[in-house]
Structure formats: structure tokens, C-alpha cells
Amino acid sequence: MELLRTERISKSYQGRQILRDISIHLEEGELVSLLGLSGSGKTTLLNIMSGLVMPDSGRVFLSGNDITGKPGQISYMLQKDLLLEHKRVIDNVALPLVIRGMKREEARAKADPYFRQFDLEGTQMLYPAQMSGGMRQRAALLRTYLGSNGVILLDEPFSALDMITRGQIHTWYMDIMQKIGFSTILITHDADEAILLSDRIYLLTGSPGEIHHELRIGTPRKDRRDFNLQPEFVRYKRQIRDALEQASG
Amino acid sequence: MKKRSANIRAKLLPVGAFCLILLIWWGLSASGMIPGYMLPSPADVVGAFIHDFPNLMHHAFVSVTEALLGLLIGMALAFGLACVMERFLTLEQAVMPLLVATQTIPTIAIAPLLVLWMGFGMEPKIMLVVITTFFPIAVGLLDGFKSADPDAVALLRSMNATRRQIFRHVKMPAALPYFFSGLRISASYAVVGAVISEWLGGFEGLGVYMTRVRKAYAFDKMFAVILLIVIVSLLLMKLVNVIRDLSMPWLRYRTEKTQQLLHE
């Protein structure tokens, strides 16, 4: 079932066109990556999908409802985890629920059971400064999940982590998606990460940014342990490189 | 271990410097290089402090009351104005230069005017403290509001947070460290402001006591009251630090982490 769809999104800033006719879709349970080079308008597209910015033309639909320019429908997470240092981890995680009008205690009670699933058990009453980078990312992901309507937008969320932690969090993320059952749009410039995690990859290239290519990763997610060491992985990577070279002329 | 010895060293250094100054002072007065009526010895000052202790405490109570009341009113006004200026940029652009201009007027020049307008009671003293303490807090708060992470504000906007919710969850906590920095400066100004305004008229307070002992050429008592003003100001600043640490418990962890990174 289709969850999220953008229809011919275009956007200009100060006379310069950033995005042209972006049409993508996301199915339930899918992880779709938007892979693009720097300056291809990835973050602008994220702001449009999350309702923070109105497109010049085009619409965004969530489960068939027009959510263009309506914040609070889809939650996103950036490279910076943006945990509020003055709040305990549980209050950070429950923040989207409090913003929606839930009482603090009620929001805490709703968030608490997820701590085990997100490997955060015991961190509820800590402050973010007491946690490691990987734990902070998981807490931010949990907050994003609790604020979502089943769709999460991730803007290069793991790029600040070291290689080992990133590898661990990739595996963990695929597991948690499966367990809890939500859908993700991942914005990244890292082809390896996109191939490793995605069901489909959109290549966003050029200036203004346009979707030049769509690639389906056929390998089931459960078979992707050490995927980046397989010949299949290299084949996908070559396809992406060829498509990017073709797009940049 | 290394960290502990660094902490001890940091605490001992100012104590050492203080003892050295005390020794030089004692040496100057004991050797007769500076006559005793101009610079009483540290022992004379301590003697005067102990001898006149009940009287000093009575006047200190008045000055501290004025300082605290002025500080509280100044804080409330600064908070209100900073919030309104944060909300309306035009107001900030209009009012800020005026506020800066008011800070160039010497306190000593306004004090007689306030006494003329408001009489010899507590009111002009409190008003002067309000005027001197208001500015650092207002500017601190305004800078603090502006220091809020724009990405965190955008994140809350993406959650469909109202302006008030963004203020409460992001801007106000971001402003707290700035607020306390301003409050610490203001706390040190508060006692001095109260004392200066008491010089120009009144019946009680450390400023009034100071004027009396100066006229009597009781320099040991003069130094004793200066010592008391320093102690009261330091205690007030310490109180601000304690309140800051209690209201921002998360800072302890951030500071520990920063120190760890610095020592790695």
C-alpha cells in the first residue's frame, strides 16, 4: 500500500531553481533512499515533505491526504541528533507527544515500553550528555518514530558516527524497522549506505535537482549481513556510478 | 588523580594570592610606611569588624533587603522586556539603543535625582538597584534566546509546535546559562548600587554607616564595612551559582564531558 507520494514538486529560492518535478513514492514497510550529490536539493525536499516549506508547485500526499505545507504529519531526523540537553532522555523521546498536547506523565508512560525495543533500557532518566553517540542516535530515532505517522524521514543521520558504530546501527535499524513496522525515506550522499539499507534508491542529481534514475535493490533485507562484501553489492554500486556519470553528462 | 590535584591547585592559588596581599598590607602598616590613620592594619580592621558587628549587621540587613528587592524587580522587568523584544524584532530595534544609552549614565548622577523624586526611604535605593541590575539580565536573556539552535527550532516546528511551545522547550532553556551569567553580574552590582544610593541620603544601611564613620575619620570601621560589602556581594554571587546549579542539573554532565575531552 502506498503511504507517501510527492507529485511534481518544484522549488526555487531567490530566483534559482533548486528542485524540478520531483515525483517519488513510498510503500508501507519500505526503506527508500534519495541519493544525491551535494547541492542537489536533498534538504529542501526534506523540508517540503515535512511541511516546513511550501513548494512552488506540486503536492505531498500521506495515505492519500494532501499534507503539503502542513507540519506535524511526518517526523524527520538530521545528522545532529538534536536531543535537548536540558531534558532527560525519556522527556526528549516523548517530546512529540507532549507537543501534541499529551500530559508529561502520560507521554512518558507511552514512550517507556519502546526503550527496550530501541536498546535504550535504563537510559530513561539520564541526560543526553551522559550517553554515547550511538545511544543518542537511537534515542533520536525513537523520538522520530513516536512523532511519526508510520513514515520517518532521515537526513544523513548516521554520517557523524564512526565506521564501527555506523555498521552496528545500520544492522540495528533494519531489525527495528522489521520488528516495529514503519517506513523510511533516507536522504544520503553515501552510495554504500543507500545500497545496504534500501529497497529502492532514487538518484537525485543536477542543479536544479531532478530524479534521474530509480534502482531497485532485489536482495532481501534479512540477507544483507556483510552485503557490502558481496559481488552483487559492487554491481549495484557500479550501476549507481554509471547513472550519476550519465546524469552529469 | 591528575584532575583532583588540578582542582586543589585552582582553589589554593587565589587563597595564596589573597594571603600575599594581606601580608604586604600588614607589612606596609606595621613598618609605618603608610600612617595608621590612613591605612589601618588588617588586625585593626578585623577588630573594628568584631567590635561593631551588631551595628554592621543591622545596616547590612537594610542594604541587603534593598539589593534583593531591587534585583528581583529588575529581574522581572528584564525578563518581561526580553521576552517581548524576542517576539517583536521591531521593538528590539527601537528599544535596544535606548537601553544601551541609559547604561552610559553614571549611577552616582542618577542617585541624587531619585532621592529628590522619591524621598529618603527605601524606594530610591531599590529603584537605583533596579536600574543597575536590569540591563545585564535583559541583554543576557536576549542573547540567550538568540543562541537557540535553529535546527532544534525547525525540529519543533516540524512537530507542529506552537510559538509558545518552541519558547518553552528550546529558547528558554537555551537562554538559562546567559540569564545566570547576567544575574551574577547584576548581583554584584546590586549591593554596590544600594550602598551608593544610601550615601546620598537615608537613615539606615551600609552606605549611611559608611558616611558616618568617614565623617568620624574611623578608617578601621570604614575598611570593616568595605570588607562586609565584599563578603555580602560574594555571598550573593555564590547564591546565584547555587541556584544556577540547582536549576540546570544537566550542565554538570556537560561540563564533566567537556573536561574529559580537554584532558584526553
- Whether A33 is covered by a domain: the verdict is no
Chain B residue numbers touching A46 (CB-CB < 8 A) = none
What is the three-class DSSP state of A79?
coil
What's the confidence (pLDDT) of residue B256? 61
What's the confidence (pLDDT) of residue B264? 47
Least confident range from A32-36, B230-234, B251-255: namely B251-255
Closest chain A residue to B253, measured at CA: A129
Whole-angstrom distance, CA of residue A180 vs CA of residue B142: 43
Look at A170 and B37; give whichever has higher pLDDT: A170
Whole-prediction pTM: 0.81
Instruction: Provide the mean pLDDT of chain B.
Output: 88
What's the confidence (pLDDT) of residue A222? 75
What's the confidence (pLDDT) of residue B263? 53
- Whether A132 is covered by a domain: the verdict is yes
Among A71, A85, A87, whose Cβ lies nearest the Cβ of B160?
A71
Percent of chain B with pLDDT over 70: 95
Secondary structure element (H or E) that encloses residue A73, with its range? none
Do B153 and B83 lie in one domain? The reply is yes
Grid look-up 554571587 returns B237
Do B182 and B205 lie in one domain? The reply is yes
Chain B residue numbers touching A132 (CB-CB < 8 A) = none
Is the pLDDT score of B16 beyond 80? yes
Percent of chain A with pLDDT over 70: 99
B56, B228 contact by CB (below 8 A): yes
Look at B69 and A221; give whichever has higher pLDDT: B69
Q: Kindly state the average pLDDT of the residues A52-67.
A: 93
Closest chain A residue to B250, measured at CA: A86
Q: What is the pLDDT of residues A163-191, one digit of tens each?
A: 888 888 888 888 888 888 889 999 988 89
How far the first Cα of chain B sits from its last, in Å, is: 14
What's the confidence (pLDDT) of residue A80? 85
Closest alpha carbon to A70 in A40, A100, A50, A94: A50
Closest chain B residue to A51, measured at CA: B158
Classify residue A227 by its DSSP letter: G
- Whether A25 is covered by a domain: the verdict is no
Whole-angstrom distance, CA of residue B191 vs CA of residue B132: 10
Do B91 and B220 lie in one domain? The reply is yes
Do B113 and B190 lie in one domain? The reply is yes
Least confident range from A235-244, B18-27, B115-124, B248-257: namely B248-257
Chain A residue numbers touching B160 (CB-CB < 8 A) = 51, 70-72, 99-100
Do B96 and B161 lie in one domain? The reply is yes
Is the pLDDT score of B37 beyond 80? no
Classify residue A36 by its DSSP letter: E
Between chains, do A129 and B249 touch, taking CB under 8 Å as contact?
no
The two beta strands, A2-13 and A16-27, are antiparallel
* pLDDT confidence tier of residue B261, bands split at 50, 70 and 90: low
Contacts of B81-85 with CB under 8 Å at 24 or more apart are: B81/B138, B82/B137, B82/B138, B82/B141, B82/B142, B82/B145, B82/B175, B83/B141, B83/B167, B85/B138, B85/B142
Do B63 and B112 lie in one domain? The reply is yes
Do B23 and B52 lie in one domain? The reply is no
Secondary structure element (H or E) that encloses residue B119, with its range? none
Q: What is the pLDDT of residues B191-235, one digit of tens each?
A: 988 998 888 878 899 999 999 988 888 888 999 999 999 999 999
CATH of the domain at B240: 1.10.3720.10
Q: Kindly state the average pLDDT of the residues B66-94.
A: 92
Do B105 and B218 lie in one domain? The reply is yes
Between chains, do B155 and A52 touch, taking CB under 8 Å as contact?
no
CB pairs A-B closer than 8 Å: 65
Chain B residue numbers touching A147 (CB-CB < 8 A) = 159
Between chains, do B159 and A147 touch, taking CB under 8 Å as contact?
yes
Is the pLDDT score of B152 beyond 60? yes
* pLDDT confidence tier of residue B113, bands split at 50, 70 and 90: confident
What's the confidence (pLDDT) of residue B79? 94
Between chains, do A71 and B151 touch, taking CB under 8 Å as contact?
no
B191, B228 contact by CB (below 8 A): no
Sign of the alpha-carbon dihedral angle for A30, A36, A38, A40: negative
What's the confidence (pLDDT) of residue B166? 96
| Nearest chain A Cα distance for residue B107, angstroms | 37
- Whether A17 is covered by a domain: the verdict is no
Query: Which of B147, B151, B159 to probe the A interface (max A CBs under 10 A)?
Result: B159
The residues near B204 (Cβ < 8 Å, ≥ 6 apart) are B58, B59, B62, B198
Least confident range from A161-170, A208-217, B87-96: namely A161-170
Q: What is the pLDDT of residues B156-177, one digit of tens each?
A: 998 989 999 999 999 999 999 9
Between chains, do A71 and B257 touch, taking CB under 8 Å as contact?
no
| Nearest chain A Cα distance for residue B20, angstroms | 41
Whole-angstrom distance, CA of residue B49 vs CA of residue A38: 71
Q: Kindly state the average pLDDT of the residues A118-127.
A: 91
Chain B residue numbers touching A80 (CB-CB < 8 A) = 151
A35, A215 contact by CB (below 8 A): no
Between chains, do B160 and A127 touch, taking CB under 8 Å as contact?
no
Least confident range from A189-193, B112-116, B258-262: namely B258-262
Closest alpha carbon to A247 in A45, A20, A57, A46: A20
What's the confidence (pLDDT) of residue B1? 57
| Nearest chain B Cα distance for residue A225, angstroms | 33
ipTM: 0.83
Do B113 and B12 lie in one domain? The reply is no
What's the confidence (pLDDT) of residue A49? 92
Do B82 and B112 lie in one domain? The reply is yes
Closest alpha carbon to B161 in A199, A90, A52: A52
Tell me how many domains chain A contains. Answer: 1
* pLDDT confidence tier of residue B257, bands split at 50, 70 and 90: low
Closest alpha carbon to B171 in B46, B87, B231: B87
| Nearest chain B Cα distance for residue A148, angstroms | 9
Is the pLDDT score of A198 beyond 70? yes
Q: What is the pLDDT of residues A84-116, one digit of tens each?
A: 999 999 999 999 999 999 999 999 999 999 998
* pLDDT confidence tier of residue A42, bands split at 50, 70 and 90: confident
- Whether A242 is covered by a domain: the verdict is yes
**Host domain of residue B218:** 40-263
Do B24 and B55 lie in one domain? The reply is no
Least confident range from B36-40, B89-93, B141-145, B227-231: namely B36-40
Among A78, A85, A127, whose Cβ lies nearest the Cβ of B151?
A78
Is the pLDDT score of B135 beyond 50? yes
Closest chain A residue to B151, measured at CA: A82
Q: What is the pLDDT of residues A69-88, one digit of tens each?
A: 988 888 888 878 899 999 99
Cell readout for B145 is: 534566546
Is the pLDDT score of A236 beyond 70? yes
CATH of the domain at A205: 3.40.50.300
Angle B247-B252-B255 from CA coordinates, rounded to 5°: 130
Do B238 and B147 lie in one domain? The reply is yes
Tell me how many domains chain B contains. Answer: 2
* pLDDT confidence tier of residue B116, bands split at 50, 70 and 90: confident
Is the pLDDT score of B110 beyond 70? yes
**Host domain of residue A226:** 2-11+41-247
| Nearest chain B Cα distance for residue A28, angstroms | 21
